[in-house]
Every structure is written in C-alpha cells, then in structure tokens.
Structure 1
C-alpha cells in the first residue's frame, strides 16, 4: 500500500503525521509522496482541500482519508486519538470507495483558456466595485447580475460558503452544481432570481463579464486576480474525487453534528 500524508502544519497535526508514519512502517505500508494510492489529510477541511489540489493531476488514482484535529470536518472520518485504529483497519480491510462530484471551471480571456477543478466551490467577486455579469444557462440568457459576487458550489461544498448565503444543502450523491448570489442588487436594469439555482449534471452556466472590471476568482482556497476575463463556464466535471471509508458515517450525521450540535445516542449505531 502506497500512501502520503498532508498535515496542517501545527504541532498536533505534525506529531500525528509522525505517529502515522511510524505505525504505517510497522504494517509495511510504503510511503510514496509522488504516486500514492491513499492520501491521509491531518488537520481540517482546509487541509484536505490543500491535499486535493496537490494531487489534482492524479485525482483518478488517489483516495483521500481525513483525520480532523479540531471540530468535526465534512471530509474527515477520523479523530486525532484514532490514528492507531485507522492504521489497523487500513492494514486489515478493504475500504469502501465513495466518489463525490467536482466542479469544472473554464476561464476564457482574449488570449487564453484555463481549466480548473473545484472540490468545494468557485466564487467570483468584484475587486474595485460590484460584479456586473450576465448569467447564461445552457447558452441562453438567464439573468443580469449586479452585486458582491456569485458562488458556484458542488454538493459536498454546499455546506460551506453556499450555505452562508442562503443556498440549499445538497447530498453528494446528487451530481449537480448550485448557483448562489452574494448580495445582489435588483432594479429595472439588473434583475436576479434572488434564490439559489441547482443545475443537473448535463447542464452548464456561463458568467459573462459585462464591463471592464478587476475580478477575484477563488477556487476552493486558491485565489486569482484577473482584469481580462471574458467569460467563465461552470459545469459538473467528468472526473470525481474519491474517499476511502473504513466505517460508515452518513452525510446527514455530518450535517447534524456540524450545525445542530445535537447528540442523539439512538443514532450512534446507525451510521451508514
């Protein structure tokens, strides 16, 4: 078994990474930072996003495992005190591989086309003023937007920025994208729906810049500033991200524990 470890960089995460390496060596795992089969993320959801983008060129060949060192993360199945149990299960059991949809972002400028993948979300904001853009869905004009920005989220990212701007939480088994507004301005010139919109796998949306404007693009945790954007196409990517699950933990349990702080012992044996 070939593996790599990405840690958050704090003392606890680094010590857990060293402990994992020690235990993995005892089980004859092979550390391979260039071509791993499994990538163990130790930290939080931000650490896993970093790991995802580090290995994005090998996304079809890698499965991720999250260990959280703080609050429960949506991408982490294991707690800091469960490293020994994790290594033991990796040595003895075949994991269930769960695959989540990704967003593909195609950025068009007069001189080039760039492609990006997002695990959580893509956001677009105006830098020096409000964002002004036409939104097309399936090559037909849908709305004229003016406001602070737009969030395009994956189902697994629907619990992040998307939720904070009033978007819906979507189960990761639903292959879709969600468009949510950030502080839209509505008048007789600029009219928006005012609610989030979900697009199925075979649909796409285009965000077309309607003036010369400096824009900030954020793909997960990676920020880019551009002043030459013509349009941005967003769609469900053909590739998916894989997570290795050695024990069941439902998405709705993650939602409940993250947002409702509701400890129900009756559900402790119903993780699937």
Structure 2
C-alpha cells in the first residue's frame, strides 16, 4: 500500500479526519482509589492507564537515587500483552519499554516542581491497554491527569501530540496505520502556556523545508489536547466538590 492512499483527493484520511484534526479523546480521572492519582485516556483506538504514587520516602534500593535538592521521578512504561493484534510477550524490561520510560522521566522532570520534595520519590506507572498509534503521547496525557489527580504541583500541564508528513501534507495525531506505512513521524511534548517543548523526537528523515509546518501542527495538536484535558480536570473538580457538599 502506498502512502498516497493515506490521504484522499478530497483531503480526508483513512479514518475520516482532516489533516489538522485530532482523534477523538475521552478520559477519566480518579479511576483507582488505591493510588494517589490515576487516569484513563482513549485517543482514537489507543487506550492508556496511568497511576501515580507519592511523593514518598525513598526505601530500599531507591535510596541510592536520593537527591538532596529535588524529588526523584520514577517512570515505568509497559504494554499489556493483549494491547496489539500480535499475541506475544512484551516484557516490561525490554529495550523499547526502557526507552519510553526514560523519555517519560525526562518529560515530567521538566514539568513537576521537583524542588518541593527533596530526598523523596514520585512513581508514575503507565500502561498501554490498546495500541493504535501515538502510544507515547497517550501515556504523557494520561500521566498528566494522574499527577493532577494526585495533587502534585506542576509548572503547567504536559500535553503531547504526534505529527506526520504524507503527500506533501502535515498530518496531526497520526494513527498506527499512518505510522506504519506513512513517512516521517514527529513527537512533541509541550508545556502549552509557555510553549516550552520538553520532548522532541523524530522518527525517519524529514526535509528541513518541511520541518516548520510539521512542528507547527504538532504544537497546535498539543494545545488542542490541552483544551480537552483542562475541561476534564475542571469537570472532575466540580464533581468532587459536589460530592463533598452532599456528604
């Protein structure tokens, strides 16, 4: 299948979206009472779950990672064995999962007010329950909601979005099909208010002339994600306050 089929002559993608449109996003906060914070998100057919524990005292082997001036952010990424059509083992310690975990750690170290919790630890666990493209972005967005649910101070929301480039056209929030048979993929994690990029990653080559429009679309996607997440947070706070008033 050629990449031309990813975009019709009328400008529609295989899932019916325009090039500049996000997939439908649905999310919930506070899905686990056992965790300090938790969230579930669906971006198209990609589904991710995030839980947050802490801040808490470092114990055991974690004490060696203690930092006197800031919190240690521990991130662990994994994929459920049933998350894709390939029924094979996906060990938590495989190279891809370790790379994703490290990227998540760097992303949230730039957003969390780490200086408020010296010599302590925050654990962020994210799992892909169903994979259909944009796994990292879904994990970042879910973890952001879980951190807010846990009441951990952050400089800003962290919002992530991918962008691709097919048939001389930038595409926002690309799906697994577009990742697989399309061209370059750009992943951006952004603090939307300051527009500070906290993670930038390119998969495959992209001509420098096309870099700016693709980056602009990915940045716009992050801001569109922010609008969705902010609405979810406000609705959740209203719901929590209402339940407290009733009790």
TM-score of the superposition, structure 1-length normalised? 0.25
Q: Identify, as 1 or 2, the structure richer in helix.
A: 2
Q: Identify, as 1 or 2, the structure richer in strand.
A: 1
Q: Which has the larger radius of gyration?
A: 1
